[in-house]
């Protein structure tokens, strides 16, 4: 594989997972002057766009690892991380000492810590840098990153992370980033579960979603997540918060696994996980998290948002 000219100050970066979030991240890595390799994806549009901007396309993680100094992973979760690293033609089949891997996925901290320890023996550094933000912020290069890394590794990877994240918080050693990301997602997904149940209870008592919102919005319980969540409950905008119920269920499984592995008492996270499991079991997995409102409506014998809108027309 032939890269573009490498400067003395810019590491050669590879990027695996140029999807909803990854395209914007990779675009900003290119814009900051890093030579970039991307791996082919079933959705050709983001790959073709990045190649047109100057990226080089590779066919496998192994090919990427042989040519790059840093590899960024932006995949779904722990199974995909393991496959990219250890699978046939995976990164570890060709990785050389000095390679730095940045996992921006929402993965399991126990896997991250195990990988970091295993790879360190080979002179390879595994860092976790899960993200806060939206695809729009990924395109703008204004994500936040929660980084778990050793001191020497952080010094190497920080400039690449800074290409797509305007806020970088070093939270500890490898695994700490994924721990903090799971706790962060537990908060947001827990709020989503509370909002959906609160709206259903209110509706049962005859209080409509607009009335509910008129009290909450602008008060102490208002927040950015509330506003995007309510974009569906109020306006029927199914894209108001683009994160699927299947992904929410996956993240909550990771949260409860973390609690189990650390021996933590976890009452609320188990309940939240079960609500998302129920929603996925009822066939709503591909829908975004705010549509949990409709799942709770059906469970309670209430009209869904589309049914309310149809009745009002």
Domain topology for 179-312: 1.10.1040
Distance CA 251, CA 107 (A): 8
Cα separations in angstroms, 117 against 113, 159, 239: 6, 23, 40
State residue 41's pLDDT score: 73
Distance CA 279, CA 5 (A): 50
Burial 29-46 (b: 16+ CB within 10 A, else e): bbebebbbbbbebeeeeb
Structure tokens at 4: 């573009």
pTM: 0.89
The dotted CATH code for 13-172 is: 3.40.50.720
Nearest to 235 by CA among 276, 290, 195: 290
Structure tokens at 265: 């008492």
State residue 20's pLDDT score: 86
Q: In a structure prediction context, what are the per-residue pLDDT tens digits for the chain, which is 313 residues long?
A: 555 545 456 899 999 999 989 999 999 999 999 999 999 777 889 999 999 999 999 999 999 999 999 999 999 999 999 999 999 999 999 999 999 999 999 999 999 999 999 999 999 999 999 999 888 999 999 999 999 999 999 999 999 999 999 999 999 999 999 999 999 999 999 999 999 999 999 999 999 999 999 999 999 999 999 999 999 999 999 999 999 999 999 999 999 999 999 999 999 999 999 999 999 999 999 999 999 999 999 999 999 999 999 998 7
State residue 238's pLDDT score: 96
Do residues 16 and 26 lie in contact, with contact meaning Cβ atoms separated by under 8 Å? no
State residue 2's pLDDT score: 55
3-state SS record for the chain: CCCCCCCCCCCCEEEECCCCCHHHHHHHHHHCCCCEEEECCCCHHHHHHHHHCCCEEECCHHHHHHHCCEEEECCCCHHHHHHHHHCCCCHHHCCCCCCEEEECCCCCHHHHHHHHHHHHCCCCEEEECCEECCHHHHHHCCEEEEEECCHHHHHHHHHHHHCCEEEEEEEECCCHHHHHHHHHHHHHHHHHHHHHHHHHHHHHCCCCHHHHHHHHCCCCCCCHHHHHHHHHHHHCCCCCCCCEHHHHHHHHHHHHHHHHHHCCCCCHHHHHHHHHHHHHHHHHCCCEHHHHHHHHHHHCCCCCHHHHHHHHC
Q: What are the boundaries of each domain within the chain?
A: 13-172, 179-312
Position of tokens 């290409």?
163
Distance CA 50, CA 35 (A): 12
78-86 vs 109-120: helix crossing angle, rounded to 10? 20
First to last CA, the chain: 59
């Amino acid at each position: 594989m032939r890269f573009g000219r490498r400067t003395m100050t810019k590491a050669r970066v590879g990027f695996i997972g140029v999807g909803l979030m990854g395209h914007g991240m990779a675009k900003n890595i290119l814009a900051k002057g890093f030579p970039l390799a991307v791996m082919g994806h079933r959705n050709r549009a983001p790959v073709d766009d990045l190649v047109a901007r100057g990226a080089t396309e590779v066919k496998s993680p192994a090919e990427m690892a042989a040519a790059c100094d840093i590899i960024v992973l932006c995949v779904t979760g722990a199974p995909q991380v393991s496959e990219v690293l250890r699978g046939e033609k995976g990164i570890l089949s060709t990785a050389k000492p000095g390679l730095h891997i940045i996992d921006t996925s929402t993965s399991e901290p126990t896997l991250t810590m195990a990988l970091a320890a295993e790879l360190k023996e080979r002179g390879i550094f595994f860092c976790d840098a899960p993200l806060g933000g939206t695809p729009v912020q990924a395109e703008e290069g204004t994500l936040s990153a929660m980084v778990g890394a050793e001191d020497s590794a952080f010094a190497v990877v920080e400039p690449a992370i800074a290409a797509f994240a305007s806020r970088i918080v070093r939270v500890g050693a490898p695994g700490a980033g994924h721990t903090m990301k799971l706790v962060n997602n537990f908060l947001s997904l827990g709020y989503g579960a509370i909002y959906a149940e609160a709206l259903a209870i209110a509706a049962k008592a005859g209080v409509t979603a607009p009335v509910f919102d008129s009290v909450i919005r602008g008060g102490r319980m208002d927040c950015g997540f509330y506003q995007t969540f309510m974009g569906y409950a109020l306006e029927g905008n199914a894209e108001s918060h683009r994160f699927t119920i299947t992904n929410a269920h996956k993240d909550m499984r990771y949260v409860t696994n973390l609690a189990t592995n650390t021996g933590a008492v976890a009452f609320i996270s188990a309940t939240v996980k079960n609500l998302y499991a129920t929603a996925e079991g009822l066939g709503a997995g591909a829908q975004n998290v705010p549509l949990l409102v409709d799942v709770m409506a059906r469970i309670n014998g209430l009209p869904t948002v589309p049914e309310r809108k149809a009745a009002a027309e």
